[in-house]
Amino acid sequence: MKQITAIIADDEENLRMGLILLLERLWPELKILGQAQNGIKALSLIELEKPDIAFLDIQMPGMTGIAVAKKVSNACKIVFITAYDQFAVQAFESEAVDYILKPLTPKRLETTLARLKKQLGGQEQSLEFDLKIKKIIQVLENREVPGYLRLIKVKTGSDIRFVPVSQVLYFKAEDKYTIVQTATNEFLIKTPIKDLENDLDPKQFWRVHRSAIVNIERIQAVKRSFTNQMIIGFDETTHHIAVSRSYEHLFKQM
Amino acid sequence: MQPFKSKATIHSFIITAIFNTLIAIVLTYMVLDDHHFFDVFIISQLMGLSICLCVNIAIHFTDGNKWNVATNVIGLITGVFMGSLLSWGFLSLFRGNDFTYFFKHVFSYVFVFGIVFGVPISYFFSSREKIIESEKLIQKEKIKRLTMEKEAAMTTLRLLQAQIEPHFLFNTLANVISLFDIDIEKARQMLIDINEYLRISLQRTRQEMITLAQELDLTRQYLEIFKIRMGDRLIYKINDQTNKSDLAFPPLIIQPLVENSIKYGIEPDVSGGAITIDCRIKENILEIVITDTGKGLDEDANKAGIGINNVSQRLENIYGSDASLILKQNHPRGIKTIIQVPL
């Protein structure tokens, strides 16, 4: 019988070594063809060595384990390794893709190895692996969606700064630019108000005017001017923003 | 202007009508010994309801200042006059009393009884409102306090979770287990580091202020753990030039920023990088600069730095506008974070 081969990819050396030692104990006949410390090396190693099995850590620099798996698709059996990722684990479970959890336990690894032996011995090909991976990638990518903008990239002279959104009092459109106003500074960015509105957490940032978005956590008071226009004042500053009539309802009953 | 609260207003009219009926009974059978109950009843209702109406209108026009004595007195007096006028209207229309008769024999009774009963009943209403309002206020305070307590508990939990992030914990423990087979001495050292890290984390989460030295110790512990995990891919250096061991400093400011640097800057970078922490005192200002040479922030990573907004908010809660947190692109690569707090 042909000797079964494998490669191991993980960015942490101790974990690679640990897995190798464990595999030597549980499956002495398995030949380890090589190790990779990042996704890119893992991919070239698989293409070069053509192993039967690839143990791939998910969080790797360069390229994630899942991206590597997608590239090699059905070239070899793949076992994912992950430390703590409820989301990924759920995706693996639902697509019946092999995975092991860090810290590795011999018992759990034995189950995986037994399944691998069975699959490789019986020439049981799972042709739809490619499809499964695509589904998993979709699930994992979808979870990124609720992430709102947390830092605003601004240029100040030759410097590039990142302003945490919690420091922003308001965004205001001015000609081709958008003013980012903090308690102490004013920055100009090119992102239009409309795009910002989509990227900011709507619980914290409210559009109050065609040309203004305010951080409601920084509002000190909402007052009426003598022309009966609603005016928003901000903490510790003299800055203010006018609320247009069509947005006034946001502040009613406050 | 205070809008009429229809329900409460209707309520007050109904209660007034009941009072009026009782007053009519008392007046007819016990005080006046007059047997025209129906007339007394009608006059009593006209008087009572007029007062009720006038007081309600007065409250309406004084922005709902319900227990303003002047409002109540004006309402009451207008009501008494209006009631007297209506009573005269009733008597002249249905009983043929002319004005002189009414003014001589009836008006004084009507007016005096109006005042005598009107005052305590108005007082009853206003104190009833007061009780309802204060109960509402107490309820509001209670809800506010409970919400605040809940929020405090949630914050503690969040802070704790932020420090002992599951991904960090499990990966680190996986390292220890592997190290038992590879290098037992390293495994022992790593367990000691984790132990120290967890101990300090659990303690300081409950504290408002620790010392800068303590925060740096914890950060060093954290970086030490990553040093074992990442090997040559991570280089770090902590330069404390303050020469003071007892500088008060809030917990969870430096460590979350270092965590960000590792998580988004150095770990995802194939070649790794270096983290430097510099602390110095410049004219009554404590400046802490955290520099990493990692990947830096690209457009997408702008959505990633969860910890930074927390840190910024914490600094502001503690120091107000005296503290500043600035994030810059580092040259040639990576991120530089500058924290300044007053001493």
Give the 3-state secondary structure of chain B: CCCCCHHHHHHHHHHHHHHHHHHHHHHHHHHCCCCCHHHHHHHHHHHHHHHHHHHHHHHHHCCCCCCCHHHHHHHHHHHHHHHHHHHHHHHHHHCCCCHHHHHHHHHHHHHHHHHHHHHHHHHHHHHHHHHHHHHHHHHHHHHHHHHHHHHHHHHHHHHHHHHCCHHHHHHHHHHHHHHHHHCHHHHHHHHHHHHHHHHHHHHHCCCCCEEHHHHHHHHHHHHHHHHHHHHHHEEEEEEECCCCCCCEECCCCHHHHHHHHHHHHHCCCCCCEEEEEEEEEECCEEEEEEEECCCCCCCHHHHCCHHHHHHHHHHHHHHHHHCEEEEEECCCCCEEEEEEEEC
Residue A106 has pLDDT above 50, yes or no: yes
Give the per-residue pLDDT at B131: 79
A101 part of contact set with chain B, CB < 8 Å: yes
Q: How far is B108 from chain A (nearest CA, A)?
A: 48
The percentage of chain B sitting over the pLDDT mark of 70, rounded to a whole number, equals 89
The whole-chain average pLDDT of chain A stands at 84
CATH of B164-342, one of 3.40.366.30, 1.10.10.10, 2.40.128.260, 3.30.565.10: 3.30.565.10
- Tell me which chain A residues have a C-beta less than 8 angstroms from the C-beta of B234: none
Mean pLDDT value of segment B321-332: 88
**Cis amide leading into B332 (omega within 30):** yes
Matching fold, domains A5-142 and A151-251: no
Residue B18 has pLDDT above 70, yes or no: yes
Cα–Cα distance, B234 to B230 (Å, whole number) = 6
- Tell me which chain B residues have a C-beta less than 8 angstroms from the C-beta of A11: 230, 233, 267
CB pair distance less than 8 Å for A59 and B303:
no
Q: Which of residues 181-240 of B touch A (CB under 8 A)?
A: 181-182, 228-231, 233
- Tell me which chain A residues have a C-beta less than 8 angstroms from the C-beta of B311: 164
Select from B230, B303, B311 the residue whose CB has the most chain A CBs within 10 Å, as the one to mutate to test that interface: B303
Give the per-residue pLDDT at A217: 85
Cα–Cα distance, A58 to A4 (Å, whole number) = 23
CA distances from A228 to A159, A222, A225, A242, B112 (A): 42, 12, 5, 11, 47
Residue that wins the pLDDT comparison between B285 and A74:
B285
Q: Domain A5-142 in CATH: superfamily?
A: Response regulator (3.40.50.2300)
- Tell me which chain B residues have a C-beta less than 8 angstroms from the C-beta of A150: 302-306, 308-309
Residue that wins the pLDDT comparison between A62 and A226:
A62
Residue B300 has pLDDT above 60, yes or no: no
A250 pLDDT band, cuts 50/70/90, is confident
The percentage of chain A sitting over the pLDDT mark of 70, rounded to a whole number, equals 92
Beta bridge partners of B219: none
B3 part of contact set with chain A, CB < 8 Å: no
Residue A124 has pLDDT above 80, yes or no: no
Determine the 3-state secondary structure of A27 from DSSP.
coil
First to last CA, chain A: 77
Amino acid at A114: A
* pLDDT tens digits along B241-286: 998 888 999 888 898 899 889 988 898 888 899 999 999 999 899 9
The whole-chain average pLDDT of chain B stands at 83
**Contact predicate B188/B206, CB 8 Å:** no
- Residue B198's Cβ-count burial label (10 Å; 0-12, 13-18, 19+) is middle
Cα–Cα distance, A122 to A37 (Å, whole number) = 31
Mean pLDDT value of segment A216-225: 82
Mean pLDDT value of segment A135-156: 76
Q: Return the number of other C-beta atoms located less than 10 Å from residue B290's C-beta.
A: 24
* Cβ neighbours of residue B66 closer than 8 Å, sequence gap 6 or more: B59, B126, B129, B130, B133
Instruction: Name the phi and psi angles at B117, rounded to 5.
Output: -90, -30
Give the per-residue pLDDT at A146: 56
Give the per-residue pLDDT at B93: 81
Residue A16 has pLDDT above 70, yes or no: yes
B327 part of contact set with chain A, CB < 8 Å: yes
* pLDDT tens digits along B208-235: 788 899 889 889 999 999 999 998 999 9
CB pair distance less than 8 Å for A38 and B228:
no
Instruction: Name the phi and psi angles at B95, rounded to 5.
Output: -115, 0
Cα–Cα distance, B1 to B65 (Å, whole number) = 10
CB pair distance less than 8 Å for B303 and A149:
yes
Chains A & B: contacts with CB separation below 8 Å: 126
Among A40, A152, A161, the residue with its CB nearest the CB of B326 is A161
B316 pLDDT band, cuts 50/70/90, is confident
The percentage of chain A sitting over the pLDDT mark of 90, rounded to a whole number, equals 28
Residue that wins the pLDDT comparison between A218 and A129:
A218
A108 part of contact set with chain B, CB < 8 Å: no
Cα–Cα distance, A80 to A59 (Å, whole number) = 10
Instruction: Name the phi and psi angles at A158, rounded to 5.
Output: -95, -5
pTM, 2 dp: 0.68
Domain residue ranges of chain A, discontinuous segments joined by +: 5-142, 151-251
Cα–Cα distance, B252 to B209 (Å, whole number) = 10
A228 pLDDT band, cuts 50/70/90, is confident
Mean pLDDT value of segment A64-86: 83
- Tell me which chain A residues have a C-beta less than 8 angstroms from the C-beta of B313: 166
- Tell me which chain B residues have a C-beta less than 8 angstroms from the C-beta of A161: 326-329
**Cis amide leading into A28 (omega within 30):** no
Residue B25 has pLDDT above 80, yes or no: yes
* Cβ neighbours of residue B58 closer than 8 Å, sequence gap 6 or more: B71, B72, B74, B75, B78
B65 pLDDT band, cuts 50/70/90, is low
Residues A151-251, CATH architecture = Beta Barrel (2.40)
Residue B341 has pLDDT above 90, yes or no: yes
Domain residue ranges of chain B, discontinuous segments joined by +: 6-150, 164-342
- Tell me which chain B residues have a C-beta less than 8 angstroms from the C-beta of A220: none
Cα–Cα distance, B142 to B280 (Å, whole number) = 45
Give the per-residue pLDDT at B5: 60
B11 pLDDT band, cuts 50/70/90, is confident
Give the per-residue pLDDT at B306: 61
Q: Return the number of other C-beta atoms located less than 10 Å from residue B333's C-beta.
A: 14
Residue B338 has pLDDT above 90, yes or no: yes
CB pair distance less than 8 Å for A62 and B270:
yes
Q: How far is A41 from chain B (nearest CA, A)?
A: 10
Give the per-residue pLDDT at B304: 55
Mean pLDDT value of segment A188-213: 89
Mean pLDDT value of segment A33-46: 94
Q: How far is B61 from chain A (nearest CA, A)?
A: 21
Reading the block at residue B94, the tokens are 């249905």
Residue B1 has pLDDT above 50, yes or no: no
Instruction: Name the phi and psi angles at A128, rounded to 5.
Output: -85, 10
CB pair distance less than 8 Å for B169 and A166:
no
Give the per-residue pLDDT at B303: 56
Give the per-residue pLDDT at B67: 56
Beta bridge partners of A6: A32, A53
Cα–Cα distance, B88 to B43 (Å, whole number) = 9
**Residue in chain A lying closest to B270 (CA):** A61
Cα–Cα distance, B102 to B90 (Å, whole number) = 11
Reading the block at residue A198, the tokens are 């989509």
**Contact predicate B27/B40, CB 8 Å:** yes
**Contact predicate A54/A7, CB 8 Å:** yes
* pLDDT tens digits along A83-101: 877 777 777 777 667 888 8
Residue that wins the pLDDT comparison between B156 and A167:
A167
Q: In what order do the strands lie in the sheet with A168-174?
A: A186-189, A177-182, A168-174, A212-215, A205-209
CB pair distance less than 8 Å for A236 and B230:
no
- Tell me which chain A residues have a C-beta less than 8 angstroms from the C-beta of B322: none
CB pair distance less than 8 Å for A18 and B269:
no
Give the per-residue pLDDT at B59: 76
- Tell me which chain B residues have a C-beta less than 8 angstroms from the C-beta of A148: 303
Cα–Cα distance, B111 to B117 (Å, whole number) = 10
A44 pLDDT band, cuts 50/70/90, is very high
Residue B42 has pLDDT above 90, yes or no: no
Q: Residue A165, by phi and psi: left (phi above 0), alpha (psi -120 to 50) or beta?
A: alpha
The percentage of chain B sitting over the pLDDT mark of 90, rounded to a whole number, equals 20
B85 pLDDT band, cuts 50/70/90, is confident
CB pair distance less than 8 Å for A84 and B325:
no
